[in-house]
Amino acid sequence: MAENTPTLTALVYKKLVESQQALRDKKLDSSMAILQGIANNVENTPYDNAMIWHMLGYIHYEQGDLKSAAEAFERVFEFDVPQSLSQSNHKILAQTYMAMDRYKEALPHLRNWLEHADRDQEEVHVLIAHCLYEIKQFKSAVSHLQTAIDSYRVMGKAPLEPWLNLLQASLAQMDDVKHRIDTIKLLLAWYPKPEYWLALASSYAQLEKMDNYLAILALAQRKELLTSESQYVSLASVYFAQGAPQKATEMLEEGMHKQLVQRNVRNLRFLASAYSMAREFQAALIPLRQAAALSEDGELDIMLGNALYQLGRWQEASAALAKGLEKGEVKHTTTAWLLLGQSLLNLKQYDDAIAAFEQAALDEQRADQAQQWLKYVRYEKERQEKLKLEAS
């Protein structure tokens, strides 16, 4: 590597100036033609040729011909060039390879750039980390990112948001949830965005720290940071699983009120299930009726019938249960027949109740229970008939 910066021959210097002016004027073809005319001159010095190829690389780059640009920049290293040109060439060649998604080829040029850089080393560390991430060398990527971030923090500067995001993405690939949480907290300290609160909550859920998860999401709700259906439904699901169905209904109702959560069959069924678990059967009726009307199978009609049964609304319960059984595809058919029979019994429709219990009795596992109801309804029917006779 030459120690002193050599000088260009007069002709090459003149043509380089003309080419640069054409490049500034956006006359890319002219800029290239000027250099191509002198590229193979036998009078050129090695430094002349290196500068010509370096400039040709820039022109190809500006034209969007990255492959030709990389080839031109590679040609520069065929010549003995000063450190400043070598450094500039390593930098632009690394960026060219990265733009082509050729990350492995970019790495040696980035490392050379880093080795000789006297400033902005943090930027180079991050570029190296980006390449390492793309080739799935996540541990090494984290090391370079941490170096850049620590350097900025020592200087009292906030690490750039993309750096922290790349760090947390790398840690996520390594399943290093603990350190990912630390990184997300840094993001929240410097760039407090809704998605980082939700990412933090998700990370705590991965560690099964559900108290932290719920606390953060509850905070996100108060700050009105929840902006999507998946966020509302996810939080409602955790409340439901944690035995807090009332909180689940609040989340779903809020999301639906804001028109973020669709009132489709799935979400309405979830809402109704949460109300039912909370023993709020009256509140469950609206989503159940809406969901049942949208559903082709009878499962939601059965759920509606159960809610109405719990409220003692026997006529409506029997109608919903009968409709559900007629639609079919009911998971617990025997239970539905038993509920229908009990509803009809309360309406004193004894013959219809007997028919329902007889259907339930076809299930061998529940036959004894159904037979007990049959025995009771027949007794009650006979007792009511005797009372009528005595009254007349």
pLDDT along the chain (392 residues), means of 10: 71 91 89 87 89 92 93 93 90 95 96 86 95 97 96 92 96 94 92 83 82 77 76 84 88 92 93 92 92 89 93 94 91 93 94 93 90 92 85 72
Give the pLDDT score at 352: 93
Q: Counting every residue, how long is the chain?
A: 392
pTM here is: 0.62
**pLDDT of amino acid 223:** 65
Residue 190: per-residue pLDDT: 92
Q: How far apart are CA 292 and CA 210, in angstroms?
A: 33
DSSP lists the bridge partners of residue 82 as 2
Interval 228-271: pLDDT, tens? 898 888 888 888 887 889 989 999 999 999 999 999 999 999 99
Residue pair 128/114 in contact (Cβ under 8 Å)? The answer is yes
> At 2, is the secondary structure helix, strand, or coil?
strand
177: left (phi over 0), alpha (psi -120 to 50) or beta: alpha
309-330: string of b/e by CB count within 10 Å (b at 16+)?
Answer: beeebbebbbbbbbebbebeeb
